[in-house]
Structure 1
Amino acid sequence: MDKKLDNMNEKLDNIDKKQMTKVLVRADRSDVATLSKNIQKSYKPIIVKEPAKALAMIKLRDPVKQGLFYLGEVIVCEAVVEIDGEQGIAVIMGDDADKVLDMAIIDAAVKLGVFDDYQKLKELEKKQNERLMQENAMTLNTMVNFTSMDGEAPDDLAANKKA
């Protein structure tokens, strides 16, 4: 068991579990399916829990009082699989049953220490970051520069007081 963890940690040195999940959630269904199919060529996953819809509460922290509160509910899809005794679990927002099942298979393969497509994950992450930067650049073009307005405000106020 320790050998599996060492193997997993060695391969995950550049990408941690949280980061990997983030990449998979943002990835297209076809990319996740490709990663899953590569695993299924060598291993036969057993579906422990079929993909199913559920409701999950969205918890947020109030920025002023720092208290937790529930914003509302969101539909999620969840699945559990097993590969050679290792369980893989996935939960994503929405109702994409195929994607959540593929993500659970990938999770089980990572836990088992047999997932080898870390380079593909890094490529997906790079593409996602590039797309995010493009979207941010487009949004930045529409941003209002309030500092130019600040220079005008005191003069306008002074003129109004004299009148």
Structure 2
Amino acid sequence: MQREDLNFYLQYAALSDLQNLSAKLDSKIEVIQAPTAQTLLLPIKDPISQGEFYGGEVLVTTTLVRLERGGKHSDGFAMVLDDNEEYSYHIALLDAYVGFGEQDALSQAIFALTKEAKEAKQKAQEEQNQKIDSTRVQFEIM
């Protein structure tokens, strides 16, 4: 598990778990960009012409924070799907903490939660894929 995985998988964790980990931070918090809902254009590649076009917009919430401790600082960023300020803020805090590069109990807990969220997401995706596959038309037997 790497720092880059935090942003994607932690948005599938329970908010209470994120809040509990954020409460353990022993750093000064500076909010550089408060949680902000915005839209992003979704680029799509045309498989025939290989050209790109924008297929629509996606609503995201972004946050940028800075943690300071011991004369060092670390910036944290989060971009989560939908209008979800709480998730974005707490994920940005945890991202900034991991940015210090320490291998302490809190960092290990953050990565453990990320791993749990990843496994839960994958399991949910597999279950959904099985439901979809069961409805697939099999033209060979028609």
TM-score (normalizing by structure 2): 0.81
Give CA-to-partner distance per residue, 1:17-48, whole Å, 9 cap, x none: 4433221133333333333233x2x2232211
- Counterpart of 1:110 (choices 93, 98, 109) is 98
TM-score (normalizing by structure 1): 0.71
Contact 1:92 1:100 in 2 (8 A): yes
Task: Pick the structure with more helix per residue.
Answer: 1
Residue in 1 that maps onto 2:17: 31
Tell me which stretches of 4 or more aligned residues in structure 1 moved more than 4 Å. none
Answer yes or no: is 1:22 the counterpart of 2:46.
Answer: no
Change (3 A) 1:45 1:124: same
**What CA distance in whole angstroms lies between the structure 1 residues aligned with 2:92 and 2:64?**
6
- Counterpart of 2:79 (choices 67, 74, 91) is 91
Answer yes or no: is 1:45 the counterpart of 2:38.
Answer: no
Identity over the aligned pairs, expressed in percent?
26
Residue 80 of structure 1: how far off its partner (Å): 0.8
3-state DSSP of counterpart to 1:116: helix
Residue 56 of structure 1: how far off its partner (Å): 1.5
Task: Pick the structure with more strand per residue.
Answer: 2
Residue 100 of structure 1: how far off its partner (Å): 0.4
3-state DSSP of counterpart to 2:99: helix
Answer yes or no: is 1:122 the counterpart of 2:106.
Answer: no
Contact 2:7 2:79 in 1 (8 A): no
Of the structure 1 ranges 56-65 and 98-107, higher mean CA displacement relative to structure 2 is found in 56-65
